[in-house]
Amino acid sequence: MASRTKTIQSEGQSLNGRGEVLLSVRDLTVAFEEKVILDKLDLDIKRGEILGFVGASGSGKSVLLRTILGLIRKRSGTINLFGVDLETASEEERLRIDMRLGVLFQHGALFSALTVLENVQVPMREYLDLPRKLMNELAMLKVELVGLPPDAASKYPSELSGGMIKRAALARALALDPDIVFLDEPTSGLDPIGAAEFDELVAKMRDTMGLTVYMVTHDLDSLFSVCDRVAVLGNKKVLVEGTIADMLKSEEPWVRSYFRGKRARQLDLAARA
Ligand SMILES: Nc1ncnc2c1ncn2[C@@H]1O[C@H](COP(=O)(O)OP(=O)(O)OP(=O)(O)O)[C@@H](O)[C@H]1O
């Protein structure tokens, strides 16, 4: 556990383009009939950062993620990705944007009838037209990139551990070399060691590839150990955002109890030790 809480946050801004805003959400309102879930919400994510997105259960984290990904229709506001307003984007622009996004859904794991290699190739088949041999080679590189042994490539999801499934799902999310990956509770269901290893992998990808990560999580360990910035969803908008240090100083009641509750205090002490 102690190694988990040792901070592995970004050490510098050395990679090109760091700081550039890749996703900008402004005045976003999402409602299901009369029920407003998000009300004039603003959010930015910058290149090369890991943004941890937290909020009470049912506060709308998944709705926001699905709206950004174009799976839920917004009522008003703008969502701008890579400088393009999604509402006015042409079909071709939208396709190019989609290819720059990787997604790891919490329950959307892997196709059970496909091997790991075939799962990783799903986005490649959808968006690219590559010869089979090249696709196999590229998918294999992704399998290795996420730290899976080569023999995992020919296995089916039912033959893998929980941690290996998450890695394989990450490999699939990285299939097209995206600029941003959206991870929906990536460490849920993993034991602390598996979760720590997954966090370290994500941090390594930020540091070596400049990957930008939007991580919805309830996992305090992840928030303390890898997130460069945290955004808290509450009252239908981003209530507070900033570093973990900012969260620890916040007097907002939900943020206070979440980040300064007993468990959070123990993690903070361990991280400082
Ligand atoms: N398709 C839908 N139709 C109607 N209401 C919906 C729909 N999808 C989500 N909601 C409602 O939107 C609210 C926010 O749900 P959401 O799943 O985004 O919460 P969450 O913050 O991700 O919660 P959790 O942390 O428990 O996963 C909930 O009240 C939910 O019932």
Note whether residue 182 is domain-resident: no
Per-residue pLDDT of the chain (273 residues; tens, 9 = 90+): 444 544 555 444 444 566 789 999 999 999 999 999 999 999 999 999 999 999 989 999 999 999 999 999 999 999 999 999 999 999 999 999 999 999 998 765 799 999 999 999 999 998 888 888 999 999 999 999 998 999 999 999 999 988 889 899 999 999 999 999 999 988 888 888 888 988 999 999 899 889 999 999 988 888 888 999 999 999 999 999 999 999 989 999 888 888 887 666 666 666 666
Crossing angle of helices 162-173/132-145, nearest 10°?
130
Residue nearest to atom 31 of ligand 1 (CA): 58
Which of these three, 133, 151, 177, is where a domain ends?
Answer: 177
Please state, in angstroms and rounded to a whole number, the distance separating the CA atoms of residues 245 and 164.
Answer: 32
**Dist CA 171 CA 6 (whole Å):** 25
Atom of ligand 1 nearest to the CA of 106: 27
DSSP string, 60-86: SHHHHHHHHTTSS--SEEEEEETTEET
196 and 265 assigned to the same domain = yes
pLDDT the model gives residue 270 = 63
Contacts of residue 223, defined as CB under 8 A and 6 or more positions apart, other chains included, come to 52, 54, 217, 230, 244, 247
116/96 same-domain check:
no
Regarding whether 154 and 41 lie in a shared domain, the answer is no
CA of 56 relative to ligand 1 center, distance in Å: 11
DSSP conformational letter for 106? S
Measure 62 CA to ligand 1 centroid, in angstroms: 6
Question: Has residue 3 been placed in a domain?
Answer: no
The C-alpha atoms of residue 14 and residue 60 are separated, in whole angstroms, by: 34
Q: What is the pLDDT of residue 265?
A: 62
Same domain flag for 36 and 138? no
Q: What is the CATH number of the domain that holds 70?
A: 3.40.50.300
- Residue 91 phi/psi, 5-degree rounding, is -60, -40
Looking at the structure, do residues 88 and 132 belong to the same domain, yes or no?
Answer: no
* Closest Cα to atom 1 of ligand 1: 32
Query: In ligand 1, which atom is closest to the CA atom of 72?
Result: 1
Measured CA to CA, the distance from residue 115 to residue 95 in angstroms comes to 26
Task: Check: CB of residue 76 under 8 Å from CB of residue 29.
Answer: yes
Ligand 1: residue whose CA is nearest its atom 19: 58
SS3 of 110, please?
A: coil
Concatenate the DSSP letters of all residues of 212-272 into one string: EEEEE---HHHHHHT-SEEEEEETTEEEEEE-HHHHHH---HHHHHHHSSHHHHHHHHHHH
Cα-to-chain-centroid distance, residue 65:
10
Specify whether 135 is located in the same domain as 53: no
Residues listed for the chain:
273
Identify the pLDDT of residue 263: 66
Do 115 and 243 reside in the same domain of the chain? no
What distances in angstroms separate CA 235 from CA 28, 38, 56, 146, 243, one per listed residue?
13, 8, 10, 37, 20
Ligand 1 centroid – CA 236 distance (Å): 11
Of 126, 146, 177, the domain-final residue: 177
273 & 202 share domain: yes
| DSSP element (H, E) containing 104 | strand 101-104
**Domain assignment of residue 247, given as a range:** 20-100+187-273
Instruction: List Cα–Cα distances, 251 to 148, 160, 224, 248, in angstroms.
Output: 42, 43, 18, 8
Name the residue of 30, 57, 61, 63 to mutate for ligand 1: max ligand atoms within 8 A of Cβ.
Answer: 63
Atom of ligand 1 nearest to the CA of 63: 18
Residue 118, number of CB atoms within 10 A of its CB: 19
CA gyration radius, the chain: 19
Q: How many A from CA of 63 to the centre of ligand 1?
A: 6
Number of domains in the chain: 2
Show which of 139, 154, 177 is a domain's final residue. 177
- The pLDDT value given to residue 6: 47
Considering only CA atoms, which residue is closest to atom 2 of ligand 1? 32
pLDDT for the residue 264: 64
Give yes or no: residues 28 and 80 share one domain.
Answer: yes
> What does pTM read for this prediction?
0.88
CA–centroid distance, 61 to ligand 1, in Å, is: 8
CA angle 46, 52, 57 (to 5 degrees): 135
Residues 24 and 88 in one domain: yes
Same domain, 191 and 272: yes
**Same domain? 198 vs 77:** yes
Cβ of residue 121 lying under 6 Å from some atom of ligand 1: no
